[in-house]
Amino acid sequence: MTNSPKSRDGYQWTKATGLVQGVPTLGLIQPSTHFTRGKHYDVIVIGGGYAGLTTCRDLALAGNNVLLVEARDRIGGRSWSSNIGGYPYEMGGTWVHWHQPFVWRELRRYGMMDQLEISPRKNVEGGAKVTVNLDGEVKHLSHDEEDGTVTNSAIQDATVESAFKKFINVDGQFGRSVIPYPHDIEFNMAGVQEYDHMSMADRMAQVAPHLTPLEKNMFEGFLAITHGAKWEEASFFELLRWWALMNYNYPDFMAIGLTYKLRDGQSALARRIFDEAVATGRLDYSFSTPVRDVIDHGDRVEVTARNGVEVFKARRLVCTVPLNVLHTLAFTPGLPTLKTEASLAGHVNQVVKCHAEVANPEMRSLGATNYPNGRLTYTFGDGTTPAGNTHLVAFGSSLPGVHLDPEQDIQVTKKAFEEFYPGMNVQRLVFHNWHKDEFARGAWEWLRPGMTTKYLQALRERHGNVFFASSDSSFGWRGFIDGAIDDGGRVAKIVHDELRDVRPVASKL
């Protein structure tokens, strides 16, 4: 398989090319525009991530004329994959599981069940290797326990699981009484409020005396790349919610959240959703078109592009931009106070994600942490490249003094990988800097203390003829691909039902 056309997004580096902006992807849309100027659509959808794509497809299949307006030159939003020599590197959202009902429905719909492959490559060539940086000393956990039967990956899992259980067990039932129904957090709002107002730092202060030094180091390193923020700025409830969604136990947490990825990458799935919508003949689109403002006239909504030239019109509008970006769009009438406040505060996750291709086959089962001093905190083997090299994926937090902007100094980024394990020979780096991406302003959603109880419901509410769908405000798998698909489908159904009695459409204004 050859490379796909190149998006402006992302970076890659090799010794031969140096740092290059833009990577090939199946998600690039060419030509970038297909719409009729002056056409009055049923619905305009802003944003071509999974929430926007699902909204577009469901509305188009139901008979609505839809226009997708997307700031990027590609689909996928914060979940997209490169296609370098036919090999995908996941630039954002990656992992899926059959416990995530909406994404699983999509995989079944498009015949992609055979796409699943195991991502962390434990117990393959070279055996499982685990390294830990503990108090400045790099420790290589032994391959076997004394009896020679327990691998070091099992030791690593047991250490993190022990700490996790202590951290999460606020009720003696490992969170079950706080969140008895993971997809309906409103069932027990008293419990939600108590732990939503607690920060990750607050909870760590309670639990730290009960953790061994190794437990604390490995677990803090693990948590640092879940919320990707200062500990006092991240809500503890968000971790409780993840834990509940992942069946209240550590093995399922790892299996559901960090194990199964798609062989051809997330852009392959996003492309199927987009192509099905286009095949209806009722989806038009305009890519590379950032939005400047949205005006709700009562009988129609007008969207003006940042260039001031393109003006799009529809009966309804669905806005799917990320929470941290919402306040950058001008709405008339202005957004309700709670929506604006939530977006200005923003979620806190500024995790760095970076891939390396290394000429070290023995590292295919590597799992390593470098916390708290590493600019990359955690890495593991994620596959074998077409060249026969090892693919590593790594994450770093945004803690002061260690935050990494990978493109700023490629030697610093290489060193961050090399610190995980002696002898690492980096051949290629691939990444997307979500921290500096104006259309994301961060990675996956992780709310601040108190934000769930104060803002979540308000973020989901319509504003006149403007509706909102986002992974950032989903009731179920919020912050995940499944949550985006869930929320896009929810809003598409509401909008379609409302428009059902006001056809025909597609007239000229």
Which tens digits make up the pLDDT trace of 156-210? Answer: 678 889 999 999 999 999 999 999 999 988 778 887 889 999 999 999 999 999 9
Mark whether 143 and 234 lie in a shared domain: yes
Beta bridge partners of 247: none
Mean pLDDT for 361-386 is: 89
- Please state the pTM of the whole predicted model: 0.94
Other Cβ atoms less than 10 A from the Cβ of 404: the count is: 23
pLDDT for res 112:
97
Give binding residues for FAD as ranges: 70-71, 291
393 contacts 380 by C-beta, under 8 angstroms: yes
Mark whether 452 and 330 lie in a shared domain: yes
Mark whether 126 and 215 lie in a shared domain: yes
Beta bridge partners of 24: 6
Q: Tell me how far CA of residue 134 lies from CA of 156, 216, 369, 373, 404, in angstroms.
A: 13, 10, 9, 10, 21
Mark whether 225 and 192 lie in a shared domain: yes
pLDDT for res 365:
86
**Residue 424 burial by Cβ neighbours in a 10 Å radius (0-12, 13-18, 19+):** buried
Q: Which residues contact 267 (CB under 8 A, 6 or more apart)?
A: 25, 26, 27, 74, 75, 76, 80, 81, 83, 88
Mark whether 98 and 122 lie in a shared domain: no
Mark whether 95 and 137 lie in a shared domain: no
pLDDT for res 133:
65
Chain position carrying tokens 């796409």: 115
Mark whether 231 and 278 lie in a shared domain: no
Mean pLDDT for 472-479 is: 95
Pure H helices in 36-170? 50-61, 101-109, 152-168
DSSP 130-142: EEEEETTEEEE--
Nearest to 100 by CA among 255, 251, 264: 255
CATH number of 374's domain: 3.90.660.10
Angle at alpha carbon of residue 52, lines to 36 and 294, rounded to 5°: 60
162 contacts 210 by C-beta, under 8 angstroms: no
Angle at alpha carbon of residue 54, lines to 51 and 60, rounded to 5°: 135
Q: Which residues contact 287 (CB under 8 A, 6 or more apart)?
A: 29, 32, 33, 48, 70, 72, 73, 74
Which tens digits make up the pLDDT trace of 91-143? Answer: 999 999 999 999 999 999 999 999 999 986 555 544 455 666 666 666 665 43
Chain position carrying tokens 């327990």: 150
Mark whether 352 and 327 lie in a shared domain: no
Write the DSSP symbol of residue 113: G
| Residue 294 structural domain | 18-115+264-345+447-503
What would you report as the CA-atom Rg of the chain, rounded to the nearest whole angstrom? 23
Mark whether 187 and 212 lie in a shared domain: yes
Q: Which residue has the higher pLDDT, 367 or 155?
A: 367
Mark whether 240 and 364 lie in a shared domain: yes
Residue 11 inside a domain? The answer is: no
Which tens digits make up the pLDDT trace of 476-503? Answer: 999 999 999 999 999 999 999 999 877 6
Nearest to 179 by CA among 193, 165, 167: 193
Separation of alpha carbons 338 and 450, rounded Å: 13
User: Of the residues 431, 457, 478, which one is the last residue of a structural domain?
Assistant: 431
Mark whether 199 and 256 lie in a shared domain: yes
Give binding residues as ranges: 70-71, 291, 395
- Domains in the chain, number: 2
Distance between alpha carbon 162 and the CA centroid of its chain, in Å?
27
User: Of the residues 431, 460, 475, which one is the last residue of a structural domain?
Assistant: 431
Residue 438 inside a domain? The answer is: no
CATH number of 330's domain: 3.50.50.60
Least confident piece of the model among 155-159, 188-192, 224-228, 455-459: 155-159
Q: Which residue has the higher pLDDT, 152 or 428?
A: 428
Give binding residues for substrate as ranges: 395
User: Of the residues 431, 465, 487, which one is the last residue of a structural domain?
Assistant: 431
